[in-house]
Structure 1
Amino acid sequence: MNLLDDLGTVLSSSLRLTAPLAFAACGEYLAERAGTLNISVEAMMLGAAFSSVAVAGATGSATTGLAAGVLTGALIGLIHGNLAHRLTINTFVVGLVLNALVLGLTSFLIAGATFGSRPPQRWPLLLLPGIVLLTWWLVERSRWGLELRAVGENPRAADMTGIRVGLRRRQALLWCGALAGLGGAYLAVGEVGSFNQNMTAGRGYLVIAAVIFGGWRLGRTLVGCAVFGLADALRLALPALGVTLNSQLLIAAPYLLALLAMVLFATRHRRPRALGKPFVRQEP
């Protein structure tokens, strides 16, 4: 009976730790199908985690904090999109700078913050299936999604048919930011109830790895998130269960899995042909 209880605890923890990754992965999947390898998903999650806790503490409303996290992620997506697709700054450089900026800014602000901690708000996970279905429908069934995929595969041809390539990529980053913000807010307000310095701890990079693991298919991407969530749950549960392993190895386990997934699966699936490639419109 104890074994069953322990297994149930691990699975429950795994589901809760998978949810923030899955929310963000839905957004990253959509952005990559549009041709943008969004490195700034870590900044989106971390910034949203901070703002959600700050707003929830100031207003006393966890739901308002959640909304603030979504808006923060969307704002970072808007900034990334304009820098990368309006000013044509290298998208990888933009992403790395945003990650460093948000990490430094939140570390500075947390030093003087007084909002403290509050009990985690256990939101039901019914929101996640809705987000997954909406993302799938947008990419696979809507006209907007058809244009989005065309932009990710052949932006030059898409431009010739009248599709605004830069606009579609910016819209995809906005959606990615909102969902990554939802993931960061869910982690901070829904699971922890407080903000700690660098609390996302590289989860944004796990999200990118999950999309690669999934071969740029939404269902497989969510399986990748579940694998990483389970690894994280085991990292927390094994010491409590009396299993003695090297603590540093346990901390590194999800990231080692992510690296292994990229090595094994990145070359087995065809990525969007224009992924990571800038597009500059050539006037006739």
Structure 2
Amino acid sequence: MIDALTLVLASSIRLALPLAFAACGEYIAERSGTINISIEAMMLGGAFSAVLGASITGSPAVGLICGVLTGLLIGFVHANFSHRLTVNTYVVGLTLNLLVLGLTSFLFDLVTLVPSQVSVLAIPLLADIPVIGPALFAQRWPAYLVWLLLPAIWYAMYRTRWGLQMRATGENPSAVDATGIDVNKRRREGLLLCGLLAGLGGAYLSVGEVGMFNQNMTSGRGYVVIAAVIFGAWTLRGAMAGCLVFGAADAMRLALPALGVQLNPQLLIASPYILALLAMVLFARNNRSPSAYGKPFTRGLP
């Protein structure tokens, strides 16, 4: 029983990690008032670029960097189209999602990708703690970056002038503009950071969790990240809880057949997404989003 619990817990955390990286970035973007639909493209592009970079160089670490840079590039494109050229951000996001899906599928058939995976780093003594030790302290080494990212993002958003400006941009962009701060510049910065972190999440999915790239391997995980941020009431800890809920549901989907529980295969595949939607409906309906959430800003207009 303890072994099964340890396995499910470890799988839940492992499957939640790519989402957690991306959710850190989505949290920043959404607190600044931007709904980043293109996070799916950022994760998928990062996943493909990571395996491609690792195949060319033979280094999974270089692959991770390639994934991060690809996510950053997609964030740059989205930021400039939506917050500099004032193109509808939803249209830009959906277009990028379709573009990256088609491009990665085309390149997948065109190039030869070599399986590559980062190594496991077990922390001495801590990894031997029953149940939670293997789940928390025997992960592949990029997973530990989450422990650095969470306090760093919290500090940046709540203890720095930049973070105050980002949050104010999502609440009252007109007041922020009146102080001389460029609202759309802050929102572009949020999208760039989101691209960087979502690219890392996609890269971790391919060269960390799976070790290879498959067509459309993110399978809507970017949209789940958006749901996790909303489910978490636009708080960092809430977004992480949302990612863990999805990771646990995905882990149970994989574990139940192994435990002899027979359920409809299509229902099992859909269950993590259904659970994410139910959680969002049940827990997020009374929570207040940033006042300017999803609203474009044009200087001089109310």
TM class by shorter chain equals over 0.9
State the match for 2:26 in structure 1: 28
| 2:243 matches 1:225 | yes
State the match for 1:270 in structure 2: 288
| 2:211 matches 1:213 | no
Q: Residues of 2 paired with 1:237 and 1:264: CA distance?
A: 26
- Please list every run of at least 4 consecutive aligned residues from structure 1 whose deviation after the TM superposition is greater than 6 angstroms: none
State the match for 1:54 in structure 2: 52
Scaled by the length of structure 1, what TM-score is found?
0.96
| 2:184 matches 1:183 | no
Q: Residues of 1 paired with 2:209 and 2:105: CA distance?
A: 20
Counterpart of 2:173, as a letter, is P
| Contact persistence 1:56–1:62 (CA under 8 A) | yes
Q: Residues of 2 paired with 1:263 and 1:230: CA distance?
A: 18
Counterpart of 1:12, as a letter, is A
| Contact persistence 1:34–1:169 (CA under 8 A) | yes
| Contact persistence 2:245–2:276 (CA under 8 A) | no
Query: Equivalent of 1:109, from 104, 107, 111?
Result: 107
State the match for 1:64 in structure 2: 62
Between 123-132 and 139-148, the greater mean CA deviation after superposition: 123-132
Give 1:134 shift.
1.1
Q: Residues of 2 paired with 1:218 and 1:174: CA distance?
A: 18
Counterpart of 2:44, as a letter, is L
Give 1:139 shift.
1.0
State the match for 2:150 in structure 1: 132
How is 1:1-284 mapped onto 2 (pairs within 5 angstroms)? 3-119=1-117, 121-122=119-120, 123-124=140-141, 125-282=143-300
Q: Residues of 1 paired with 2:22 and 2:117: CA distance?
A: 23
Between 120-129 and 76-85, the greater mean CA deviation after superposition: 120-129
Task: Give the paired residue count.
Answer: 281
Instruction: Give % identity.
Output: 63
Counterpart of 1:86, as a letter, is R
| Contact persistence 1:121–1:193 (CA under 8 A) | no
- SS of the residue corresponding to residue 163 of structure 1 reads coil
- SS of the residue corresponding to residue 239 of structure 2 reads helix
Gaps of 5+ in 2: 121-139
Could you report, residue by residue, the CA deviation over 1:48-90 in whole angstroms, capped at 9, with x for unpaired residues?
0000000001101111000111111111111000000001011
Give 1:10 shift.
1.0
- SS of the residue corresponding to residue 233 of structure 2 reads coil
Q: Residues of 2 paired with 1:267 and 1:239: CA distance?
A: 34
Counterpart of 1:19, as a letter, is L
Q: Residues of 2 paired with 1:73 and 1:228: CA distance?
A: 22
- SS of the residue corresponding to residue 186 of structure 1 reads helix
Q: Residues of 2 paired with 1:120 and 1:245: CA distance?
A: 34
Q: Residues of 2 paired with 1:281 and 1:118: CA distance?
A: 48
Gaps of 5+ in 1: none
Give 1:266 shift.
3.3
Give 1:196 shift.
0.1
Between 41-50 and 266-275, the greater mean CA deviation after superposition: 266-275
Could you report, residue by residue, the CA deviation over 1:207-233 in whole angstroms, capped at 9, with x for unpaired residues?
000001100011111011101000011
| Contact persistence 1:40–1:95 (CA under 8 A) | yes
